[in-house]
Amino acid sequence: MEMIFVDDAPKAIGPYCHAMKVGNLLFCSGQTPLDPDTMEIVGTTIEEQTKRALQNLAIVLTGEGLTLKQIAKTTVYLSDMANFQGMNGVYEAMFEGHKPSRTTIAVRQNPLDALVEIECIAVIGES
């Protein structure tokens, strides 16, 4: 196993790495809508926050030479299932036709009161 830290991604807000590489799999920690420079939540709507969370996930993937197209599975944590439709629209647009398997869960609270957090498993060497 190899711990992955990506300089351009938002810093971890706890004792964890951005991702863990195990064989040809990359297990990415959940990304919230943090601005990597200011470490502040970006946006007030689910659409804005979903876009930033996915951009942050893409930064982690790029650090390992991957894109969103190499994601096999995502888990989306919403603070309110009423935000599902707004999240889903941005999610679909950002994945540009790629449809990894996904689980969406409503949680009581995300870190820093974010509306969304997204984690993934990506496959290295697949496109």
What is the predicted pLDDT for the residue at 41? 97
What is the predicted pLDDT for the residue at 28? 98
What is the predicted pLDDT for the residue at 127? 65
What kind of fold does domain 2-123 have according to CATH? Answer: 60s Ribosomal Protein L30; Chain: A; (3.30.1330)
What is the predicted pLDDT for the residue at 13? 85
Provide the residue ranges of all domains of the chain, joining segments of one domain with +. Answer: 2-123
- pLDDT per 10-residue tile (average), the chain, 127 residues: 95 93 97 96 97 98 96 98 98 97 95 96 87
Q: What is the pTM of this model?
A: 0.95
Closest CA to 9 of 63, 69, 76: 63
Instruction: Look up residue 84 and give its two tokens.
Output: 């599902």
Q: What are phi and psi of 69, to 5 degrees?
A: -70, -15
